[in-house]
Every structure is written in C-alpha cells, then in structure tokens.
C-alpha cells in the first residue's frame, strides 16, 4: 500500500491560510482521520491527495511521487472519493453509478456487472435498488451507493469528506460499522474527514488533530486520549469526558484477571470497558465473568479494574 505524505505544505485562499507548514505521514493501510474545528484545513488537506487542490508551498506525495507532477485525471481514477452530498450522477441508475470508474478504466461489461454485484453485497445494497435512480433512494442508501462507487475499481486509497454527517444516528452507526469491516478486510488506506470526535475515535487507527491550518497532534487514538498535546486537544476531546471516551477504546480483555470468584453476569472479552461498566450499573453487579466469542471462560473483571483502566494522562491538557 502506498504511503501518503505532506512535506511542509502551505496553502492560502486570498488572506486565509488554509494550511501552514503542514507535515504529516500516513502509512499505507492506515485509517487516518483528520479532525478539528470547522475551517481548520481538513478538507483542503484531503483534496490535495487527489490533486483537486495543489499546494502553494511544499509537496504532497503518494507512494513517493509528487502529486503535482502526475496526470490528475489518471491519478484520480485510482483513488476512491466519497463526499457528504454523495455526488451520484442523477440520471444514472445505482448500478451505472457504481460501475462508473470501472467503465472509464475499460473493464468488460461482464467484469463491471460482477463488480457491481460484489459491491452491492459488501455494502448491503438490495439487488432491487440497483436499477433505481438516486432520487428514489433514502439518504443512507445513497451514501451506501457512494461508498460502493468509491470502492468499485479497487483503489488503494479512499478519501472520505464527512460522508456520514447528514445521516440519522442509526444509519450513521450502521455505515461506520460497515466501513470498519471493509477496512479490516481490505487493508486499504482510508483518509477520513470529520468534526465528530466519537466518529474519529471509533474509526481511526491514526488520528490527526488540526487547528487553523496547523497539525496539533497525530497518533493512535488511545495515545491521544491518554496524552493530549495541549489544552486545545484536551478540550476538543471533551475535557472531563476524556476518561469515558478512553473506556470506549479499551477492551475488557486488557483489564481482566484470571481470578474466579463466582461472578454471575458475563461479558465478551472484546467488549469495551464502557460496555462492562454499563452492564454493571444495569445489573447492580461489581464483577463480571469474561468470556471469549465461543463462550470459553477466561477470567473476571471488577469495577476497580475499570476505574484503573480509565486513568488517562491528561495533566498536559489542563495546563
């Protein structure tokens, strides 16, 4: 998988500095989420990857190649792109939209049809919807079609600019889960823009916090939660909510112990500490048995283990 890198990139639109000396490395196969307040430069950085915007200073490279030196049309054909407004062609059916890039790449019709069927299955798009037009679909169905189109030509890189922002909470959570599954199966490099911290923490393997065109902090979500770089990052993470968000990121297996004291309730080892705490509160229990997916007992977790697991290093954020 090709790595993506920003090398001291600067970009201005009139008097507005969108990116300032912005340097970032995104490893191949990462799920990189760019997050920060509106106007911080997230979308500008994203669009530089597929050469929709070129830097005034510095370079953006994909696989070591300077994006500014590539044929932009050919370059974009090998990058999936999903936006909030979906951008489906209104006079094409869902199937035709999904097959758009494979058709441009000269795939045979049987190969296009097979790929459309495969993408529909992957994204949970019912076969009957493939012959409908975008205006005949719900917002969630349109977004599924948009993601399917981005994946259809099997690109190594997928760019997503707040793709789920306009969806209802249920559709949003469902598509987030689908995207997690797709990334885990494919290992593709995904660069995802959002202003929703919960979404970023759920999806990211690499989280990049931005502010006013600057990179403030980059790293694994769990490390940023434990060690916010400054008060701005701490506030954006939710201030006093950081501890609860950390519980969402830590698995029960990380805090379970092999003791056996006869706990009556049970929870999966892969569940989060937050889920374990919620179950304890709901059942009035202070300890739960921890089991694997097949039901095999592997230990117990006590409420004290969860409290210990929620200790985040936030002293920097309060400075």
Provide the pLDDT for residue 240: 63
Structure tokens at 9: 């990139």
Residues with Cβ < 8 Å from 184, sequence gap 6 or more? none
Confidence bin at 265 (pLDDT 50/70/90): confident
Using a pLDDT cut of 70, give the percent of the chain over it.
Answer: 95
Provide the pLDDT for residue 86: 66
Tell me which CATH code domain 4-243 carries.
3.40.50.300
Confidence bin at 243 (pLDDT 50/70/90): confident
34 touches 42 (CB < 8 A)? yes
Average pLDDT estimate for 246-262 = 86
What is the location of CATH 3.40.50.300 in the chain?
4-243
Confidence bin at 122 (pLDDT 50/70/90): confident
Average pLDDT estimate for 79-107 = 90
Residues with Cβ < 8 Å from 11, sequence gap 6 or more? 17, 18, 19, 41, 44, 48, 53, 55, 56, 57, 213
Provide the pLDDT for residue 288: 93
Strand, helix or coil for residue 248: helix
The architecture (CATH level 2) of 251-309 comes to: Roll (3.10)
244 touches 311 (CB < 8 A)? no
Provide the pLDDT for residue 129: 95
What is the location of CATH 3.10.580.10 in the chain?
251-309
Q: Looking at the DSSP assignment, which residues form a beta bridge with residue 218?
A: 208
Alpha helices in the chain (DSSP H): 42-49, 72-76, 94-98, 100-104, 109-123, 139-152, 169-186, 197-203, 221-226, 231-236, 242-249, 273-283, 303-309
What confidence tens digit (pLDDT) does each residue in 131-166 have?
A: 999 999 988 899 889 999 999 998 999 999 998 888
Structure tokens at 39: 């106007």
Q: How far apart are CA 3 and CA 13, in angstroms?
A: 27
* Gap between the terminal Cα atoms of the chain: 39
Provide the pLDDT for residue 31: 97
* Cα atoms found within 13 Å of the Cα of residue 207, Cβ hemisphere only: 26
Q: Region of 15 please: left (phi>0), alpha (psi -120 to 50) or beta.
A: alpha
């Amino acid at each position: 998988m090709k790595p993506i890198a920003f090398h001291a990139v600067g970009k201005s639109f009139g008097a507005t500095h969108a990116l300032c000396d912005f340097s970032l490395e995104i490893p191949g196969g990462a799920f990189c989420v760019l997050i920060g307040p509106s106007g911080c430069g997230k979308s500008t950085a994203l669009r530089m990857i597929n050469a929709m915007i070129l830097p005034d200073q510095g370079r953006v490279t994909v696989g070591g190649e300077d994006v500014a030196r590539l044929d932009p049309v050919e370059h974009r054909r090998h990058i999936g792109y999903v936006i909030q407004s979906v951008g489906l062609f209104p006079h094409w059916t869902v199937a035709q939209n999904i097959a758009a890039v494979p058709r441009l790449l000269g795939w045979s019709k049987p190969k296009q049809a097979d790929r459309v069927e495969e993408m529909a299955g992957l994204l949970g798009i019912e076969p009957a919807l493939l012959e409908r037009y975008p205006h005949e679909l719900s917002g969630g169905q349109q977004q599924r079609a948009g993601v399917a189109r981005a994946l259809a030509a099997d690109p190594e890189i997928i760019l997503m600019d707040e793709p789920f922002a306009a969806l209802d909470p249920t559709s949003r959570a469902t598509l987030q889960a689908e995207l997690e599954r797709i990334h885990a199966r494919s290992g593709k490099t995904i660069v995802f823009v959002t202003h929703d911290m919960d979404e970023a923490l759920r999806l990211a393997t690499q989280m990049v916090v931005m502010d006013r065109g600057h990179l403030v902090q980059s790293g694994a979500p769990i490390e940023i939660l434990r060690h916010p770089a400054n008060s701005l990052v701490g506030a954006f993470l939710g201030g006093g909510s950081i501890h609860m968000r950390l519980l969402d990121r830590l698995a029960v297996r990380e805090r379970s112990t092999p003791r056996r004291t006869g706990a009556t309730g049970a929870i999966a080892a892969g569940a989060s500490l937050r889920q374990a705490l919620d179950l304890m509160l709901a059942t009035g229990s202070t300890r739960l048995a921890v089991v694997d997916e097949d039901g095999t007992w592997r230990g117990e977790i006590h409420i004290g283990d969860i409290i210990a697991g929620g200790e985040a290093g936030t002293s920097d954020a309060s400075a």
